[in-house]
Amino acid sequence: MKSKLTFSKFSTILLSAIVMGTSCQKSAVSGTSSSNSSANTQKLDATNNVSDAAASDDENFDMVMGYGSYADVSNNASNAVANSLSNAIVQTGRIITYSPSKDVYPHTKIIDYGAGWTDAGVTRSGKVVIIFYAPKAEVEGKFTYTTYDNYYVNGVLHQGSVQVNKVQNGTGQTVYLSIAHKTLSNANGDVKDYNATSKRTLIDFQGGIQNAYQIDQQITGNETSDGVESNHFKAYTDDANPIIKRIDYKYRVQGALVSQIHLLNSSPNNLNEYLDYGNGALDNIATLSINGGDAETVLLPMQFWPLRL
């Protein structure tokens, strides 16, 4: 049987730094499998597609900002310094270059994973190319533009582009606006395609100073196999429960994502989902309710269908 691009073999590896989290006081993962394993697999794949798209958007922003494992200083590498940036910054398993230099705009940052680099279970190859602009000199505050050059994550090809603009809102807060279109495909002909628009506002959180982003997000996407659609979805932030991601932590820690998913062959074939990341605790526990049912605790990324549908 042809394998599917499930979140467990796809986003866990691709986006392990972006898995969402909630309160550590929630109970352990629980759930009951339906007798229809095929339908359960489709529900799981479709549900995880939404988290996958949201996490991919987070990953690109971390690459742009140099957060976490995407920082210039990693392992034994030296920090980038002006006038020496034409030389590669060699890190274990990857090379980061700036051209012509980091203090010239526009300039290009290339993260080159070569023929393959495995780190924490993630095997990457190819290049991520990010062009940086001086936002005050650009129309609408254009800040970065990201593309992918033969870029694979565990055998999944990533294509598309992401533009980020940097502006200030009416209260003087720094805001990053992003528009993304990405296509992810494997050799079996499975394709995930999505578009996302996001607004990230730099905020003070849990007593810190400008240490987190409030994320307002809208995503649409679909999954096809050999050209035949298996599901499509749209998702958006709950305005009454905005998503929060701390700069110093790799997971989302608060807020909720509302999703509407249509499945081609499943019962029910319409899933209205509410994924709640919690109240600020640093973990990867969330609650998920579907079609008005009780919220059940899940670990993200989900490995099995947890709800009684």
DSSP assignment of 18-78: G-----TTSPPP-----S-HHHHHHHHHHHHHHHHHHHHHHHHHHHHHT-GGGSS--TTPP
Domain segments of the chain: what residues?
Answer: 7-299
pTM of the complete model: 0.81
Average pLDDT over residues 81-95: 50
- Residue of 257 and 138 predicted with greater confidence: 257
Beta-sheet strands, E only, within 133-238: 142-153, 156-168, 174-185, 190-203, 212-225, 228-237
As a whole number of angstroms, the distance between CA 211 and CA 205 comes to 6
User: Among 23-32, 108-117, 163-172, 269-278, which is the least confidently predicted range?
Assistant: 23-32
Question: CB neighbours of 46 closer than 8 A, spacing ≥ 6?
Answer: 223, 230, 231, 233, 261, 263, 271
As a whole number of angstroms, the distance between CA 164 and CA 131 comes to 10
Place of tokens 């909720």: 256
Length of the chain: 309
> Which among 61, 81, 82, 63 has a CA at the least distance from the CA of 71?
63
- Does the structure show a pLDDT above 80 at 216? yes
pLDDT digits (tens, 9 = 90+) for 162-206: 999 999 999 999 999 999 999 999 998 899 999 999 999 999 999
Establish how many alpha carbons lie within 13 A of residue 288's alpha carbon, considering only the half-sphere containing its beta carbon: 29
Is the Cβ–Cβ distance between 153 and 120 less than 8 Å? no
Place of tokens 């030389």: 87
Q: How would residue 301 be classed by pLDDT, with cut points 50, 70 and 90? A: confident
State which H helix or E strand residue 90 sits in. strand 89-91
Q: How would residue 306 be classed by pLDDT, with cut points 50, 70 and 90? A: low
pLDDT score recorded for residue 255: 97
As a whole number of angstroms, the distance between CA 252 and CA 205 comes to 13
pLDDT digits (tens, 9 = 90+) for 218-269: 999 999 988 899 999 999 999 999 999 999 888 899 999 999 999 987 778 8
